[in-house]
Amino acid sequence: MSNPIMRTEDLCAYFDDHQVLKGVNLSIEEKKVTAIMGPSGCGKTTLIRCLNRMHELTPGARMMGKIWLRDQDLLSMNPMVVRRRVGMVFQKPNPFPTMSIYNNVLAGYRLNGIRLKRDEADRIVEGALRSAALWDEVKDALHKRGTFLSGGQQQRLCIARALAVQPEVLLMDEPTSALDPKATDHIERLIVELKEQVTIVIVTHNIAQAGRISDYTAFMYLGELIEYGPTEALFTAPRDSRTEEYLTGKFG
């Protein structure tokens, strides 16, 4: 790969004595969409939770190996700094329920104790909501609670919240699995647009979705990275029989 922004070396992850990731070596190309696929329980979510140091927040969780972010050792960095540079959007939309739309977008700054002047805060909020294709829908309701929005709008608000602190990488854990088809389509189109400004890694159980939006695809099985490469090549000519069986629905 010409220009990986993140890479893992022999990454292993555990919950107590149970090993979830087994020596994963993965390079993530900058300003591209990388999909991580595989059957339930194969380690997809654990992998991306390692990439922004969230895995270690779970009691009994640990990891071994190396993770690099632009040639910096991610595991020796301050975890708060890591999570600003590597943002996360979760499966279920989770706007902070007591906060307005405006304050939800700025939550990353508030949580990190960063004070903003009003005009700067206004600019960040508008920019992030525009990036998340939500500004026109909420610009007259910025001081209403985020929870009054539809599910798809709430997820775009969560994307805006993640983008507001200008991360280099945005991790998404099945961001459309709780949404209806129309909202899913909206988020998929947004993801394709967003790779102009941020590297995206998306966990998806939806094979068709990976085919539609990703540039690269990783296939995981039982904690191992089985196959990884350009999506079109992996979908049309998988090198490993397990990848082919998964793609053709023989298991999953």
Q: For the segment 172-226, what is each residue's pLDDT rounded down to a tens digit?
A: 999 999 899 999 999 999 999 999 999 999 999 899 999 999 999 999 999 999 9
Full residue range of the structural domain in which residue 219 is found: 4-247
The helix or strand, by DSSP H or E, that contains position 136, with its residue range, turns out to be helix 135-138
CATH number of the domain within which 59 lies: 3.40.50.300
What is the C-alpha to C-alpha distance for residues 232 and 211, in angstroms, rounded to an integer?
A: 7
Which pair of tokens denotes residue 100?
């307005």
What is the C-alpha to C-alpha distance for residues 250 and 242, in angstroms, rounded to an integer?
A: 9
Query: What pLDDT was estimated at residue 46?
Result: 97
Query: What pLDDT was estimated at residue 68?
Result: 97
Query: What pLDDT was estimated at residue 214?
Result: 98
Q: Does 108 fall in a domain?
A: yes
Q: Does 252 fall in a domain?
A: no
Query: What pLDDT was estimated at residue 218?
Result: 98
Closest CA to 199 of 68, 79, 35, 80: 35
Q: Does 205 fall in a domain?
A: yes
Query: What pLDDT was estimated at residue 1?
Result: 55
What is the C-alpha to C-alpha distance for residues 167 and 80, in angstroms, rounded to an integer?
A: 12
Query: What pLDDT was estimated at residue 2?
Result: 65
DSSP secondary structure letters along 33-93? EEEEE-STTSSHHHHHHHHTT-GGGSTTEEEEEEEEETTEEGGGS-HHHHHHHEEEE-SS-
Which residue stretches of the chain have pLDDT < 70? 1-2, 252
Instruction: Convert 155-179 to b/e letters by CB count within 10 Å (16 or more is b).
Output: bbbbbbbbbbbbbbbbbbbbbbebb
Closest CA to 183 of 209, 164, 214: 209
Query: What pLDDT was estimated at residue 114?
Result: 87
Number of domains observed in the structure of the chain = 1
Q: Does 209 fall in a domain?
A: yes
What amino acid is encoded at 209 in this protein?
Answer: Q
For 15, 93, 141, the CA distances from 147, given in Å and listed in that order, are: 33, 9, 12
Q: Does 75 fall in a domain?
A: yes
Q: Does 19 fall in a domain?
A: yes
